Amino acid sequence: MKTVLVTGAGRGLGLEFAKQYLEQGNRVIATARDLAKYPALQALAKQFPELLTLHTLNVTDAQSRQQLARDLDGQPIHLLINNAGVSGGWGALGKLDEAAWLQVLHTNAIAPIKMVEVLRANLANAEASTVAILSSKMGSMGDNTSGGSYIYRSSKAALNAAAKSLAIDLAGENIKVAILHPGWVRTDMGGPNGLIDAPVSVSGMRRVIAGLTKDQCGQFFAYDGTVIPW
C-alpha cells in the first residue's frame, strides 16, 4: 500500500486521481482550498473512510503549506501529484492584467515547487517516491503554432523549467519527477469541447507515472506516453 497526496482534489483531474488510486487500495491524502465546496470529494471520503483523508490547503499560502507539512510530519509520501492550477483567463495581447498574470504564475509555477520543498522529507521517507507535475503542452514552445494565451502559456513554461531542475536536483534522493500533459480534458477548466474525459486522462497519466524510469525523469510526457517538445 502506498500513500498518494493530491493537490486540488475537489474536482476534475484531482478528484479522478484520488478516486483511481483509492480504487487500487492506496492511501490518499486529498487537499482543496475549501473542502465544503466539493460534495463529490466528501462522498469519496465516506466511501473510503479508512483510506482517504482530507486536508484544507491553499497551495499559494506559505502558512497553509507549512501547516500541512506539520500535520503530515514523519509520514512517508510515495507519490505527490501537483495538480492544483488555474487558467487565469488565458491572456490576450493588449488585455494583459499584470496582477492576474502574477497570480497565475504563483499558482501554476511557484506553488508546485514550494509544495515539494515542504514535503521533501516525506518523499525521502518513502525511500522511493515520485513527484508528478501536471503541466500542459500550452507551455511548450515547440508546439506553439497559434500564439495567444500569454498568461497560461508562460505559467506552464515556467513550471516546466522549474520541474526540469527539480528532476536533476532530486535524482540523488531517489525521488523521480514526472512532467505531464493531461490532454485536452472535458473538465470545468478544460471546457465541454475537450477531446477526452478525466478517467481516460488520469488512467494514462497513471501508466506514465508507474512506468517512469530514472532516465526519463525531467522529460515532458503526454497522458498517452508520447514525448512533447519543450
**The pLDDT of residue 222:** 97
**The pLDDT of residue 91:** 78
Per the DSSP assignment, residues forming a β-bridge with 175 are 129
- DSSP letters of 117-169? HHHHHHHHHTSSEEEEEE--GGG-SSS--S---HHHHHHHHHHHHHHHHHHHH
Under 8 Å between Cβ of 163 and 177: yes
Return the SS3 of 71: helix
**Residue numbers of the chain with a pLDDT score lower than 70:** 187-194
**The pLDDT of residue 227:** 97
CA angle 151, 67, 127 (to 5 degrees): 90
Q: For residue 168, count CB atoms less than 10 angstroms from its CB and return exposed for 0-12, middle for 13-18, buried for 19 or more.
A: exposed
Between the CA of residue 221 and those of 5, 50, 139, what are the distances in Å?
20, 33, 12
Tell me the residue ranges of DSSP E strands in the chain: 3-6, 27-32, 52-56, 79-82, 129-134, 175-181, 220-222
Under 8 Å between Cβ of 7 and 83: yes
> How many Cβ atoms from other residues are within 10 Å of residue 78's Cβ?
19
**The pLDDT of residue 92:** 85
CATH placement of domain 3-222: 3.40.50.720
Domain ranges in the chain are 3-222
Q: What is the pLDDT of residues 67-96, one digit of tens each?
A: 999 999 999 999 999 999 998 877 789 999
Return the SS3 of 96: coil
Distance CA 220, CA 157 (A): 11
